[in-house]
Structure 1
């Protein structure tokens, strides 16, 4: 059975929310608010006798002495300190405390000392210290550039919670080039696993499992986060942005989440034109069903029609929502000249035609009908592809009066991605043939380029095959010579939706060959689009 981190975390959260029967207040923190929002809608939560949802950091909360607090908290020092303060001056009748990652004895002792009113009824661990984006994709949902110390700490906690919840004792491999963060995270996880096995706490299986945990740094491939992608989920994230399962439309925010949206679950990795076709097909079916329901000859037929109305209405509301989301995305695509830019991007990363690409970049930078940020993005991508022309690109930007801090991104991306573990682009002796894939659909869309394959796809395949030439690039802890069946990938700096699509295709290829597909779980510090990635390259604010 494949990994399903979404289902696992929903079961953990449901355990916490239903552990006590009666009027309850759900007390969260900034991290667990993000985690919970990816598992249940607020309406789902309130249906479990939750009267109010609050944040433990809010000291202005009104006491509810008749309610029981269900605290789902990330056990950071700040949160423990706040919890200690509250237990000394409680706001609720009693407390059931659930931490999202393992806690040590000192935290238990601290809480026991603070519980002077003896109102703590239970302290438990829930291993759900990351946001489940889909069943096989997770994120730490970083809001911006965090310090290296926080990045390592949060990464270790999240990955340990995943290993415990999935009952894994993996071989750990890490990227050495580009950053020391993957090695630091890998080492700390290895130490935590060994500590668990030494004390025999039962959290980690004693015997190694047939799984590899691969820890990468985003510098291994800076091209993929900058490309316009055309699968539904990736396209919406690029053009509109998906934040805490919400998409901002001109009419307001709408939910764009896995748990309560069967259509989204089915179509999220399909090409967007396939999504528009599917919406049209279903709307036609809906209208046909509606007409049929009007032809009622018996009471039984009438009752069946009445019973079907809520589901039909719910489906139509869902289709209407997705139509609005797609319409908004296509409008932005038109404004950005997305097809023109996508054609340029694909030719740039798949071919090695410097002179023609430089001429096309000049046309793009000088075209003031293309939004400023999109012209900047193409310049950054070109500089990453051809760093020897970085000064020429900066000169182009200066002539067009681009801001100095924006033109500095040219240097930033070259420095960030200058030492990848594997070759990102083809060289002159090994050019791929650039193939234009024709995709016909609505909105005048005829040509979409989809030739680029994320580097992560080949890395994942070769790790699963345990190719010898990757052992120097990705050393590790444990028996790295062993061929493992399953793979957990974590990228410091963020993952993209398109990389997740590529990973799913690996599993499909196994199935198509009649082989048992590997279980693959993929995640990162954030889910990137081009805007987030460029912001990550900017100097950190002090």
Structure 2
């Protein structure tokens, strides 16, 4: 089970099955993102694709009949209409059409009627309708999937399509379990079962393993996206934001033109692939080793004294140049991460996120070196932890945020998070006092170098999956849909988180896969969160809700 391999197989098939010769790739906005995550432009060029067009913006000024057009689009009404228009007045010689998901027969009929000049050679369904982030991690790119704590119908439909595509691309027809406390999880499970039933012919696979689809809700663990994250990939997303493998560094003072936007792709960057799960304490050492290797090679390149030296230089220069680019990129990124951690006191804030001592939080709110965003996330964590404590001072902390002139939208988040994920909503006990005390003790030990302080938080998903692997996941808390109970423990599990997942949870799944040979787990989410996107998720989800908590009142 590897979502990157699954999607690459489809894209290779598209470029090879359309025959030899010059090709154009005609995509929509979403399929452009799907492909750009997997292939660099130079790799696509090697597949004889020399032109890239968007179906929604393509100009029809001139015809290019010598080109074969590979169409790769989502089967939406808008795309069908645009494709019908394209086929009525074809710009290219022949067309090979690939839909990223199941296409309705009525839409195929519309396309056939529009193809009056018979330019279409083939039409296929290639199930590549999701973003493959890592081999075990996918996203649907849906920000803020709910409103009023229920599904936005458009996002529900897109989520059903995305998960269907994952199942078809991995050739899995799974049993379905869902989080009992979540109406959204149950509704999504039922919608997916409808598709499995309606499209049963497409799901007739020979299955050697017992696959399971487990649907869970972000609202059961609001803590993980509220904490700073400390592995390389997670830190970059938290502090700089990764958008389709791209990171914008244009705000960095004195940044060179070529580093204003960098690509971080495990498929094309060996250093990133080997280090994305290393924590902040380890990444500094690996950067130093990378620098040392580069300096040794740079010295060798300076010694060009003979014809043999020149020949060697010419042969190795592309690799040297690539290494030079890798060094520049990662030294810049890690340097910026280090600067932000130090400048905004992020390690101390992380420690305080566990002990949540009221006086220390108050002092931090008064510290102007600390970012507004970090004061708010601490108060949100405090509110979640002490919501039911009679002596809590949630309102006192909110008043301090107001005095600090934190924006109203951020202040409201303190109450929004209680509506979104308060104690009455959560299925699990996130704040086991004994466990928190142990973690806090470890953290303060870690400051003097005794323990690794970057990996103390264990997301709830880890516990859920460990229970599943050991065969003790409660069927009351996570019932099977339609009483179809598995007789054996699942070997292949696709776990999907409504409301978005995080890179920290991706790391937990990666480690569980490593620790349990023979067990394969893939994690998906409506999106991949950092604090900023999670704040938007909470804000949208609670919009239109009659708030039980009022600003300035209990």
With structure 1 as the length reference, what TM-score do the two structures score? 0.89
Q: 2:98 matched to 1:98? A: yes
Inter-partner Cα distance in structure 1 for 2:512 and 2:447? 22
Inter-partner Cα distance in structure 1 for 2:302 and 2:400? 65
Counterpart of 2:549 in structure 1 is none
Q: Aligned Cα RMSD in Å?
A: 2.6
Partner secondary structure for residue 242 of structure 1: coil
Instruction: Please state how far the C-alpha of 1:439 moved relative to its aligned partner.
Output: 7.8
Counterpart of 1:506 in structure 2 is 512
| Residues 1:411 and 1:527: Cα distance change in structure 2 (over 3 Å) | same
Instruction: Please state how far the C-alpha of 1:440 moved relative to its aligned partner.
Output: 9.4
Contact 2:71 / 2:97 at 8 angstroms: preserved in 1? yes
Counterpart of 2:470 in structure 1 is 465
Aligned residues: 518
Instruction: Please state how far the C-alpha of 1:292 moved relative to its aligned partner.
Output: 4.8
Instruction: Please state how far the C-alpha of 1:113 moved relative to its aligned partner.
Output: 1.5
Inter-partner Cα distance in structure 1 for 2:331 and 2:486? 48
1:466-522 Cα offsets, whole Å, 9 max, x none, are 215x21111123324531122111111111001111122223333xxxxx2411111
Contact 1:71 / 1:97 at 8 angstroms: preserved in 2? yes
| Residues 1:524 and 1:274: Cα distance change in structure 2 (over 3 Å) | same
1:219-239 Cα offsets, whole Å, 9 max, x none, are 010000011111000011111
Q: 2:421 matched to 1:420? A: no
Counterpart of 1:189 in structure 2 is 192
| Residues 1:289 and 1:400: Cα distance change in structure 2 (over 3 Å) | closer
Alignment of 1:292-331 (within 5 A): 292=300, 303-304=311-312, 306-331=314-339
Alignment of 1:132-151 (within 5 A): 132-145=132-145, 148-151=152-155
1:327-382 Cα offsets, whole Å, 9 max, x none, are 1222222232211211111334xxxxxxxx11121112221221222222222222
With structure 2 as the length reference, what TM-score do the two structures score? 0.87
Contact 1:495 / 1:524 at 8 angstroms: preserved in 2? yes
Q: 2:52 matched to 1:53? A: yes
Instruction: Please state how far the C-alpha of 1:264 moved relative to its aligned partner.
Output: 0.7
Counterpart of 1:236 in structure 2 is 236
Which deviates further from its counterpart, 163-172 or 234-243? Answer: 163-172
> Unmatched 5+ residue regions in structure 2?
545-554
Inter-partner Cα distance in structure 2 for 1:405 and 1:298? 67
Q: 2:167 matched to 1:168? A: no
Q: 2:454 matched to 1:456? A: no
Counterpart of 1:266 in structure 2 is 274
Partner secondary structure for residue 34 of structure 1: helix
Instruction: Please state how far the C-alpha of 1:60 moved relative to its aligned partner.
Output: 4.4
Counterpart of 1:411 in structure 2 is 415
1:44-77 Cα offsets, whole Å, 9 max, x none, are 2233332322211126454433233211111112
Inter-partner Cα distance in structure 1 for 2:248 and 2:3? 26
Inter-partner Cα distance in structure 2 for 1:429 and 1:65? 66
Instruction: Please state how far the C-alpha of 1:387 moved relative to its aligned partner.
Output: 1.8
Alignment of 1:37-436 (within 5 A): 37-58=36-57, 60=59, 62-66=61-65, 67-145=67-145, 148-177=152-181, 179-197=182-200, 200-201=201-202, 203-205=203-205, 209-249=209-249, 250=252, 251=255, 252-292=260-300, 303-304=311-312, 306-348=314-356, 357-388=357-388, 389=392, 390-418=394-422, 419-427=425-433, 431-434=437-440, 435-436=442-443
Inter-partner Cα distance in structure 1 for 2:186 and 2:206? 23
Contact 1:169 / 1:208 at 8 angstroms: preserved in 2? no
Which deviates further from its counterpart, 68-77 or 13-22? Answer: 13-22
| Residues 1:192 and 1:416: Cα distance change in structure 2 (over 3 Å) | same
| Residues 1:379 and 1:488: Cα distance change in structure 2 (over 3 Å) | same
Which deviates further from its counterpart, 61-70 or 330-339? Answer: 61-70
| Residues 1:144 and 1:42: Cα distance change in structure 2 (over 3 Å) | farther
Partner secondary structure for residue 340 of structure 1: helix
Counterpart of 1:35 in structure 2 is 34
Inter-partner Cα distance in structure 1 for 2:195 and 2:530? 32
Instruction: Please state how far the C-alpha of 1:104 moved relative to its aligned partner.
Output: 2.9
| The one of 4, 13, 23 aligned to 1:6 | 4
| Residues 1:62 and 1:275: Cα distance change in structure 2 (over 3 Å) | farther
| Residues 1:383 and 1:63: Cα distance change in structure 2 (over 3 Å) | farther
Partner secondary structure for residue 96 of structure 2: strand
Contact 2:210 / 2:490 at 8 angstroms: preserved in 1? yes
| Residues 1:264 and 1:13: Cα distance change in structure 2 (over 3 Å) | same
| Residues 1:296 and 1:26: Cα distance change in structure 2 (over 3 Å) | closer
Q: 2:488 matched to 1:487? A: no
Partner secondary structure for residue 286 of structure 2: helix
> Unmatched 5+ residue regions in structure 1?
349-356, 511-515
Inter-partner Cα distance in structure 1 for 2:210 and 2:316? 47
| Residues 1:206 and 1:184: Cα distance change in structure 2 (over 3 Å) | farther
1:100-128 Cα offsets, whole Å, 9 max, x none, are 11223222212112212211111111111
Instruction: Please state how far the C-alpha of 1:11 moved relative to its aligned partner.
Output: 1.9
Contact 2:24 / 2:50 at 8 angstroms: preserved in 1? yes
Contact 2:497 / 2:526 at 8 angstroms: preserved in 1? yes
Inter-partner Cα distance in structure 2 for 1:171 and 1:60? 46
Partner secondary structure for residue 538 of structure 1: helix
